[in-house]
Amino acid sequence: MATLTTSYQLIASKNIGTISGSGVATKTVYLRIYAKYTSQSIANNKSNVAYKSALYVEGSGTYFYTGTPTTKTLSGTGATAVSGSAAGDYYLGETALNEITGTVTHSNAGKASVSITASWSSTPWGVSGSVSGSADLPTIARATTPTLSATSVTMGGSITITMNPADSSFKHKIRYAFGALTEKADAFSIKDGFSAQGNTTSTF
């Protein structure tokens, strides 16, 4: 699955029918959906997103095929769906249909994905259909702020370091020092505890 960027990217394109005109070759019509994210908030663990739909008629130029008013819809994760009528004319190349924006909340691990669906129907050509697609959002970094049971102790005493990860799957590295001497504990998970590394105490 594609990962969204800050520029619109094509998520899905579907052949929904053909149109033709007097003395003009038959053309295939595609319904397309695009998506992007516009910003991310580390503090709120959310992304602002935008989606749009478009019709694409193969070919280029100024020629168009006259139709009657049609129905178009667009929906996407975190956004309010839209629907309504649109001009029924088909222009060669791509024609924008709908665009919506919204906000997506990420998981505790900072991950999120979106789903987008668009539909189109028209007469007299009988061109209609829907297209759907999904994409991932970039993972938002989640910080873990440790707390200490005490800021200082006498020699021989102990200090408990408590980690409060946003997600239980997170692993951490801890580095601690006594004067100029340092020790570290490699990555460990909260559910296993610090002792999982066999490095709970050190002698300097």
pLDDT digit string, tens, across residues 113-156: 999 999 998 876 678 899 999 999 999 988 777 888 888 888 77
From the list 16, 12, 11, 13, the residue with the least C-alpha distance to 129 is 16
Output the pLDDT for position 62.
62
DSSP-derived secondary structure letter, 3: B
Q: What is the pTM of this model?
A: 0.75
> Could you tell me the pLDDT band of residue 2, with boundaries at 50, 70 and 90?
very high
The rounded radius of gyration (Å) of the Cα atoms in the chain is: 27
pLDDT averaged over the chain?
81
Q: What token pair was written down for 105?
A: 């909340």
In this prediction, residue 191 has a pLDDT band, given cuts at 50, 70 and 90, of very low
The Cα 28–Cα 76 span in angstroms is 26
% residues pLDDT > 70 (the chain): 77
Q: Indicate the pairing of strand 46-57 with strand 64-65.
A: unpaired
Per residue in 164-190, pLDDT (tens digit) is 777 777 777 777 676 666 666 655 444
Q: How far apart are CA 87 and CA 184, in angstroms?
A: 66
Determine what percent of the chain falls in helix, strand and coil, rounding each to the nearest 5: 0, 55, 45
Percent of the chain at pLDDT > 90 equals 40
Q: Which of 13-27, 63-77, 173-187 has the lowest mean pLDDT?
A: 173-187
Place of tokens 């309010």: 80
| Residue-level pLDDT at 169 | 75
